[in-house]
Amino acid sequence: MQALNPTPSGNPATASEATALAAAAPGWSFSERPPSLFRRFEFASYAQTRTFLDRLAELQESSGVTAQNINFGRTYVNVTLSATGAALSPAEYALAAELGRLATA
């Protein structure tokens, strides 16, 4: 599993890398312009939403990757991760994969 420690190399993932990495981040939708990953997480309670948001904040700190936008209400969190360079880097895909694991844990 892609460990969450690749510092944001900023080097864009190559096409084959992107395909491999996208496989590691199921449930996310990818868009080209700008290159970004989007996913909606839904929760049974506000407390679960809060727990996810707090972990997401910690993961952003530890990974150095900051979501381009986070949009949440009582029981949902929409996360958009955008490329800082020309393309998404392994660090964004790793954060996406980690958030996916977090939400299903």
**What residues make contact with its own copies under the rule CB under 8 A?**
46, 50, 53, 57, 66-74
7/69 with CB nearer its own copies: 69
Q: Kind and range of the H or E element at 77?
A: strand 76-82
Buried b (16+ CB within 10 A) or exposed e, 49-88: beebeeebeebeeebebebbeeebeeeebebbbbbbeebb
Q: Provide the minimum distance between the beta carbon of 61 and its own copies in the complex, in angstroms, as a whole number.
A: 9
Q: How far is the CB of 85 from its own copies (least distance, A)?
A: 16
| Shortest CB 66 distance to its own copies, Å | 5
